[in-house]
A and B are shown apart, each in its own frame.
Chain A
Amino acid sequence: MMAPFYKFGLFGDNIGLVVAFLVGIGFGFFLERAGFGSSRKLAAQFYFTDLTVFKVMFTAIVTAMLGVYYLSVFGFMDLSLVYLTPTFLAPQVVGGLILGAGFVVGGYCPGTACVGIATGRIDALVLFIGIFVGIFGFSEFFPLVSGFYNATPMGQLTLPQVTRLPYGLLVFAVVLMALGGFAGAEWVEKRMAARQAEA
């Protein structure tokens, strides 16, 4: 997120932390504005009664993708400087399922738990403590799982690399997928609301 400015030496590591702090505050603010401080709203996602999480996240993805794409096309930023998390397929699938299960049970993901705490929600605080218990347990047992943790490394992948399709085509495809997803989400929400009204 700070790559283009960081690269040109506009600020160093220390100022980078300040920038990260400000970006984090902004992130938290918009999560709260989207209603993600409430575990009920977040958990409703998994019962298909309120797909706000899906819509907000996909909006963020599309906005960021278009912004980054056009800034790079016009030469304002260097896309190759943006850090990509390397893919470790098997551990990331398992980790995603664990996080998802925790998300359904606890009603928060780590970021939204911080937002919930900021507005004084006890459930968010409990979940946040749980996160640290989990981190501690994971660290203590790390030697046991480190083999799996580093399994199936695939490097830093992007969709154009994997699919070998032109970059612009994939941008368009993701936009279409998002728009289709939004329409589908609204439809599902309406149906669920109708079903609840019947019951």
Chain B
Amino acid sequence: MADLMRKLSLNGRLALTAFVLGFLALFAGTPYHGADATINTKELSLTMAADADQVGVTTLADWIIQGKSNFRVVDVRHATAYAEYHIPPAENIPVAGLGQSSLLHNEKIVLYADDGVRAAQAWMLLKAKGFKGVYILRGGLDAWKDSVLFPRIPGNPTPAQAVEFARAREVSRFFGGTPQALAGDSTAARQVAMPKLTMPASPTAGAPKKKKKEGC
């Protein structure tokens, strides 16, 4: 073998190496490591400690309004709950279906359920399966209703607050919610009946998105 290698030209040696490696590939099996998942505890704990595992509801609302298309919102609740109400661009993938979903490892994925717990479980599953950009919607749908759809807006804001409140009002209307005007300050008991949730006409009918390509 060594003798043969010496006789060949450099090109011949490279060709032979490629041939041998290619031939061995016939028996080496698949490079994808199937359904088994691994948890990198260090990576996960660091992500959690840095708060890099969550996205706030107002941030998500901003992304949707700005028409960003570099993320996917995933509703991990049951289909019935999803049909009742969901955040406009969200798609429904119940936890049991996460394994066979069409989500891609490099996508930015925002998960939510009613509160944080179910979404956090889904987050852990996806992380263990090697998904990189997975985030939990902080506070889930409850927080979405509280802060985006039905923000409580005190009746006597300071000028600084007024700008913020005007903005919250606009955001709320965009998603078909109603801002809750409160007399006096916001510590007043909040017993506003939750208005019936209806799906607004989808504001984000996104065309299929393309990522930047790597060229020659």
A contacts, CB < 8 Å to B:
3, 6-9, 57, 59, 62-63, 66, 68-70, 72-73, 75, 78-81, 83, 85-86, 88, 109-112, 146, 149-150, 153, 156, 160, 166-169, 171-172, 174-176, 178-179, 182
Contacts and interface: CB of A to CB of B under 8 A. Distances in A.
B21 A73 contact: no
B208 A174 contact: no
Interface residues of B, number: 34
A164 B170 CA distance: 51
Contacts of B27: 168
Contacts of A63: 18
A81 B15 contact: no
Interface of B: 11, 14-15, 18-19, 21-23, 25-33, 40, 43, 46-47, 104-106, 130, 132, 207-208, 210-211, 213-216
A110 B216 contact: yes
Nearest to A36: B216
Contacts, number: 102
A2 to B, nearest CB: 12
A1 B62 CA distance: 31
Contacts of A9: 43, 46-47
7 nearest A-B residue pairs (beta carbon): A175-B22, A72-B31, A171-B25, A168-B25, A172-B22, A167-B30, A168-B26
Which secondary structure dominates chain B's binding surface?
Answer: loop
A110 B29 CA distance: 37
Contacts of B40: 8
7 contacts: A7-B130, A66-B21, A79-B31, A150-B208, A178-B18, A179-B19, A182-B11
A156 B40 CA distance: 27
A9 B132 CA distance: 10
Contacts of A150: 207-208, 210
A175 B22 CA distance: 6
B20 to A, nearest CB: 9
Q: Identify the interface centre among A7, A111, A149: most chain B CB within 10 Å of its CB.
A: A7
B75 to A, nearest CB: 22
Contacts of A8: 40, 43
B30 A174 contact: no
Q: Identify the interface centre among B25, B28, B216: most chain A CB within 10 Å of its CB.
A: B25
A111 to B, nearest CB: 5
A195 B102 CA distance: 54
Q: Identify the interface centre among A88, A172, A182: most chain B CB within 10 Å of its CB.
A: A172
A183 B31 CA distance: 29
A172 B31 contact: no
B215 A110 contact: yes
B214 A176 contact: no
Contact of B213 (A62, A85, A171): A85
Given A8-B43, A175-B21, A156 B104 contact: yes
Nearest to B14: A59
A66 B208 contact: no
